[in-house]
Structure 1
Amino acid sequence: MIIFGSPRRYLQGPGAIAQLGEEVAKLGRSALLLADDHVLGLIGESVGAGCRAAGVGFTAVRFGGEITRAEIDRLEAAARDVRPDVVIAAGGGKAIDAGKSLGGRLGVRLVTVPTIASNDSPTSHVVVLYDEKHKLVGVEKLPANPDLVLVDTAIIAKAPARLLSAGIGDAVVKQFEVEQCFRKGGTNMFGGRAPLAALALARACYATIRADSAAALAAVRRGEPDEALERVVEASVLMSGLAFESGGLSICHAMTRGLSAVKGPAEALHGLQVAYALLVQVELEGRASSFVDDMRRFFRTAGLPVSLAELGFAGGEAEIALIAELTAQAPHTKHFEKPLAPAEIAAAIEAVEERARTKETA
Structure 2
Amino acid sequence: MIVFGAPRRYVQGPGVLSRIGQELAVIGKSAVLIADSRVLEICGATIRDSAAAEGVGLTIIPFGGEITYDEIARIVARIGSDRPQVVIGAGGGKTIDTGKIVARDTGAAFVSVPTVASNDSPTSHIAVVYDADHKLVGVEENKGNPELVLVDTDVIIKAPLELLSAGVGDALVKVFEVEQCIGAGGENVFGAASPRTALALARACYDTVRENLTEAYKAHAAGTPNAAFEALVEASVLMSGLAFESGGLSVSHGMTRGLSAVPGVANALHGHQVAYGLLVQLELENRDASFMDDMRAFYRDAQLPLKLSQLGADQASNSVVQTIADVSAEAAHMKKFNRAIGASDIAAAIERIEAA
Tell me the TM-score normalized by structure 2. Answer: 0.99
Matching residue of 1:2: 2
Matching residue of 2:113: 113
User: How do 1:322-341 and structure 2 match up within 5 A?
Assistant: 322-341=323-342
Q: Distance in 2 between matches of 1:28 and 1:39?
A: 23
Matching residue of 1:283: 283
Query: 2:299 matched to 1:319?
Result: no
Query: 2:349 matched to 1:348?
Result: yes
Query: 2:268 matched to 1:243?
Result: no
Query: Cα offset for 1:247?
Result: 0.2
Q: Root-mean-square deviation (CA), in Å?
A: 0.7
Contact 1:30 1:56 in 2 (8 A): yes
Contact 1:14 1:153 in 2 (8 A): yes
Q: Deviations over 1:180-201 (max 9, x none)?
A: 0011010000000000000000
Q: Deviations over 1:1-37 (max 9, x none)?
A: 0000000000000011011011000001111110011
Query: Cα offset for 1:81?
Result: 5.0
Q: Distance in 2 between matches of 1:229 and 1:257?
A: 31
Q: Deviations over 1:179-238 (max 9, x none)?
A: 000110100000000000000000000000001112112211211111000000000000
Task: Could you tell me which runs of 5 or more consecutive residues in structure 1 were left unpaired when the two chains were aligned.
Answer: 356-362
Figure out how many residues of one structure are paired with residues of the other and give that number: 355
Contact 1:19 1:50 in 2 (8 A): yes
Query: 2:183 matched to 1:192?
Result: no
Q: Distance in 2 between matches of 1:214 and 1:270?
A: 22
Query: Cα offset for 1:79?
Result: 1.2
Matched to 1:341, the amino acid is G
Contact 1:165 1:217 in 2 (8 A): no
Q: Distance in 2 between matches of 1:346 and 1:326?
A: 11
Tell me the TM-score normalized by structure 1. Answer: 0.97
Contact 1:59 1:82 in 2 (8 A): no
Query: Cα offset for 1:82?
Result: 4.2
Matched to 1:8, the amino acid is R
Query: Cα offset for 1:65?
Result: 0.4
Contact 2:83 2:108 in 1 (8 A): no
Query: Cα offset for 1:162?
Result: 0.8
Matching residue of 2:159: 159
SS state at 1:26 partner? helix
Q: Distance in 2 between matches of 1:191 and 1:246?
A: 9
Q: Distance in 2 between matches of 1:323 and 1:82?
A: 45
Q: Deviations over 1:310-333 (max 9, x none)?
A: 101114111111111111100100
Range with bigger deviation, 76-85 or 205-214 = 76-85
Q: Distance in 2 between matches of 1:293 and 1:278?
A: 14
Q: Distance in 2 between matches of 1:21 and 1:266?
A: 37
Query: Cα offset for 1:275?
Result: 0.4
Runs of 4+ in structure 1 over 2 Å off: none
Q: Distance in 2 between matches of 1:238 and 1:220?
A: 19
Q: Structure 1's 43 and 81: CA in aligned 2 closer, same or farther, altered over 3 A?
A: farther
Matching residue of 2:234: 234
Matched to 2:102, the amino acid is L
Range with bigger deviation, 113-122 or 214-223 = 214-223
Q: Deviations over 1:127-184 (max 9, x none)?
A: 0000000001110111200000000001111111111000000000000000000110
Q: Deviations over 1:286-314 (max 9, x none)?
A: 00010001000000000100000110111
SS state at 1:66 partner? coil
SS state at 1:158 partner? coil
SS state at 1:119 partner? coil
Query: 2:268 matched to 1:268?
Result: yes
Matching residue of 1:359: none
Q: Distance in 1 between matches of 2:39 and 2:288?
A: 44
Range with bigger deviation, 315-324 or 344-353 = 315-324
Task: Could you tell me which runs of 5 or more consecutive residues in structure 2 were left unpaired when the two chains were aligned.
Answer: none
Same amino acid, percent of matched pairs = 57
